[in-house]
Amino acid sequence: MAKRIDLRSDTVTQPTADMRRAMAEAEVGDDVYGEDPTVNRLETLAAEMLGKEAALFVTSGTQGNQVAIATIARTGEEVIAEAESHIFYYEAAAVSAFVGAQIRQVPGRKGVLQPTDIKQAIRPRDVHQPRTALICIENTHNRAGGTVTPVHVLEEISSIAKASGVPVHMDGARLFNAAVASGRSAKEIASHVDTVQFCLSKGLSAPVGSVLAGSKAFIDEARQWRKRMGGGLRQAGILAAPGILALTTMVDRLAEDHENARYLAEQLSALPGVTVDLETVQTNIVIADIAGTEVDVNVFVQALRDEGVLSSAFGPTTVRFVTNKDVSREDISTAVDVIANVLKQVR
Ligand code: TLP
């Protein structure tokens, strides 16, 4: 059987041989006592790279976002998030389940929150209205197709938020994709937000984990929320060791994923009945709309799977492809041929 070409997500990436070796050899201790030297090293490195006072290793992007929100927001308050953000869309209503705050969905432009909309969404002091506790920015934006929030937009949102005394959290699950695509450092991007979460286990290819960063006071509180949510791990250095390699050796190669995504998007948009908004293809995500082919999305995704190409049904007529380390340019070309053939057969 031909090689499986897995474009469902960048979460499917396998750890490298160096990562596996680092896991086996990691020096470890009990991280709940703060005694795991490898976790401490990862946290120090991440804080430095993001220009924040402190950082916390968490089990997942979802946990990183939720620990951040729980640390900042209280029951009966409101958290602003983009209408199709991961925090709203894919975190199993954790904000209502754990915090008891409500999410205010603000639609962005191709995933990018607009400063004027944020200004209007921040609540005035009024007995009828909840207090705005937090603004969340997703960068890159998953459901919008991996779009990057430009630094000047971050600056504007940050100054509006500061003027209202509302902190800003960034769901930077793919922060380093945003950095590589925009040519800005992660530190510069993070300088416009109070707290930031990024994933080690997406394009950066570590097997597990995310990092939450912010002020020392914030991280001290967040550490207790992580414990409360069951995320206090013991000899976690085994997981942090590949995370260190993710940060020191895997960032620059994200450019390759971005080039592959652009190539895939261009090839797909040339197929009859398939449209891709090429403006949104800024990083490693491609969302193809197959409405014009009149093929059912689930039938299409299954037919591709039968031919060894894995993708995700993303909406009634849309399919998501995410390029990643384990899919080469040659694999992308093969995938395009498979997609073209499948469309001819199932039409
Ligand atoms: N995204 C996953 C799925 O959950 C949809 C994916 O395959 O893209 N923020 C953003 C923007 C994300 O895309 C994700 C994961 C997360 C947070 C959550 O990270 P994990 O999966 O580590 O909890």
Q: What does the mean pLDDT of the chain come to? A: 97
Cα atoms in the 13 Å half-sphere on the side-chain side of 316: 3
CB atoms near residue 34 (< 10 Å)? 11
Separation between Cα atoms, residue 102 and residue 107, nearest integer Å: 16
Q: Which of 6, 142, 239 to mutate to test the pocket of ligand 1 (most atoms within 8 A of CB)?
A: 142
Q: How confident is the model at residue 2 (pLDDT cuts 50, 70, 90)?
A: confident
Query: What is the model's pLDDT at position 1?
Result: 56
Model pLDDT, residue 12: 98
Cis before 140 (ω within 30):
yes
What's the rounded Cα separation, in Å, for the pair 331 and 336? 9
For the whole model, what pTM was predicted? 0.98
Q: What is the mean pLDDT of residues 119-147?
A: 98
- Asked if residues 307 and 254 have their Cβ atoms less than 8 Å apart, the reply is no
Count the residues in the chain.
347
Taking CA atoms only, the protein residue closest to ligand 1 atom 4 is 90
| Nearest CA, atom 8, ligand 1 | 9
Q: Of all atoms in ligand 1, which is nearest to the CA of residue 65?
A: 17
Q: What is the pLDDT of residues 147-184, one digit of tens each?
A: 999 999 999 999 999 999 999 999 999 999 999 999 99
- For 59-99, the pLDDT digits (tens) are 999 999 999 999 999 999 999 999 999 999 999 999 999 99
Q: Atom 21 in ligand 1: which residue has the minimum CA distance?
A: 61
Q: Which of 149, 119, 152, 151 is nearest to 135 (CA)?
A: 119
Rounded Cα–Cα distance for residues 74 and 221 (Å): 14
> In angstroms, rounded to a whole number, what is the distance separating the alpha carbons of residues 63 and 67?
6
> Is the domain 17-249 a CATH 3.40.640.10 member?
yes
Regarding beta strands 275-276 and 210-214, do their DSSP bridges make them parallel or antiparallel, or are they unpaired? unpaired
- Show Cβ contacts of residue 96 under 8 Å, excluding neighbours closer than 6 positions: 102, 103
* C-beta separation of 213 from 196 below 8 A: yes
Q: What is the DSSP string of 135-200?
A: EEEESSBTTTTSBPPPHHHHHHHHHHHHHHT--EEEEETTHHHHHHHHT--HHHHHTTSSEEEEES
Q: Give the pLDDT confidence of 156-165 residue by residue, as tens digits.
A: 999 999 999 9
Q: 285: which strand partners?
A: 322
Hunting for tokens 């954790």 — which residue is that?
94
Chain centre to alpha carbon of residue 341: 32
So where are the chain's domains? 5-12+253-346, 17-249
CA-nearest residue, atom 20 of ligand 1: 61
Instruction: Ligand 1: list residues with CB < 6 Å.
Output: 9, 11, 60-62, 86, 90, 138, 142, 171, 173, 199, 210
Mean pLDDT of 130-143: 98
Q: Rounded CA gap, 115 and 326, in Å?
A: 37
Q: Is the dihedral of CA 70, 76, 79, 83 positive or negative?
A: positive
| Percent of the chain at pLDDT exceeding 90 | 99
CB atoms within 10 A of CB 123: 17
What are the tens digits of pLDDT across the range 221-280?
999 999 999 999 999 999 999 999 999 999 999 999 999 999 999 999 999 999 999 999
Choosing among 3.40.190.10, 3.90.1150.10, 3.40.640.10, 3.20.20.70, the CATH entry for 5-12+253-346 is 3.90.1150.10
> Measuring CA to CA, how many Å separate 113 from each of 155, 157, 213?
12, 8, 22
Distance CA 282, CA 31 (A): 37
Binned at pLDDT 50, 70 and 90, residue 3 comes out as confident
Mean pLDDT of 41-49: 98
Beta bridge partners of 172: 198
